[in-house]
Copies of this chain bind each other. A is one copy, B any other.
C-alpha cells in the first residue's frame, strides 16, 4: 500500500462520505467531490473536481457507479460528471467502484463483486431487516415466531440476531448440510420444499418466488412478511395484498440504515484489493 497516499471520493451518498472519513482516520489524504447538497460533511471539506482528480492517487466511486450509463451517480450533487470525462482525467490511476460499467478498463476494480464485501453487508442488511420488523410489527421480536428462508450470508447472520433477541427461530434451507448447521444452532430446521407453520414474522432471503398465494395462505395469514431478496423478490405481493397480509420489500438496506458501517465495508474492500493487487 505504498503508492496510494490520497483518495478521491467522487459521487454517491452518505456511505461514500463515511468511507472517506474512515480512510482519513487511517491517515490517508481524502478529497471529497460531488456532495454539495449534503448537510453533514462529518467534518470534511468538499473539493472541486479538478483538484480532486489532480491530487488523488486513486478514486473510490459509488455503488452503483452510474444509473444511466453516461454520468456518475451523484445524488447529493446537482452537477453532472460524465463517465467519459472522469476516466479521461483519471488516466491510469486505480478506480474502485461498484459495477456495472458499460465498458471495462485495466485500472477499474469492482469492490462490489467481492465475496467478503457481500458477506460484510449481511450485517447491516440483517439489522435493517430487524429495524423494519420492529417498526412494522406491533409485538416484540422477543418470543415471536420467526421464519427465515434461505441460509446464505443473510440467513446465517439474521437468524443468529433474531435468536439473540429471544425470538423462536425457524430457518428453511435447501441442502442437507445447511439443515444440520441450522439444527446445531438449536433452531427449527425446515426443508425449503416443506415450509409450514404459523409465523409472526417471515424474512425471505431467497431470490425466487417461494411465497406464492398458496404458501402465503398456508403460513403467513397473521404474519408480517419482509422480503430481502433483490428484484423481483421472492414474494407475490399482489397475492399478499389480496390476502390482507402485510408484506414489505426491503431493498438496499445497508446504505439506508447504516451508512457508516456500509462506508467502512466499502473502504475495507478497497484496502483488500489494494493489498491483493499490490497497487
Which of A's residues lie within 8 Å of B, judged by CB?
Answer: 14, 18, 114-116, 119-120, 122-124, 126-127, 130-131, 134-135, 137-143, 153, 156-157, 160-161, 163-168, 175-177, 179-181, 183-186, 257-261, 264, 272
Contact = CB atoms under 8 A, between A and B. Distances in A.
Tell me the number of copies of this protein: 4
Contacts of A176: 114-116, 272
A163 B164 contact: yes
B164 A185 contact: no
Interface residues of chain A: helix, strand, loop or mixed (majority): helix
A63 to B, nearest CB: 17
A178 to B, nearest CB: 8
Contacts of A127: 134, 140-142, 165
B166 A185 contact: yes
A130 B264 CA distance: 22
Nearest to A162: B164
A186 B164 CA distance: 9
Nearest to A258: B140
Contact of A257 (B120, B134, B168, B261): B134
A142 B183 CA distance: 9
B184 A157 contact: yes
Given A166-B123, A176-B115, A143 B18 contact: no
Contacts of A135: 131
Q: Report the 10 A-B pairs with minimum CB-CB distance, sorted nearest first.
A: A164-B164, A116-B176, A138-B260, A119-B180, A166-B186, A139-B260, A131-B134, A140-B261, A115-B177, A120-B180
A229 to B, nearest CB: 20
Nearest to A168: B186
30 contacts: A14-B138, A18-B138, A114-B176, A115-B175, A115-B176, A116-B176, A116-B177, A119-B180, A120-B180, A122-B180, A123-B140, A127-B134, A127-B141, A127-B165, A130-B134, A131-B135, A134-B134, A139-B258, A139-B261, A140-B261, A142-B186, A142-B261, A156-B181, A157-B181, A160-B164, A161-B165, A161-B166, A163-B164, A164-B165, A167-B186
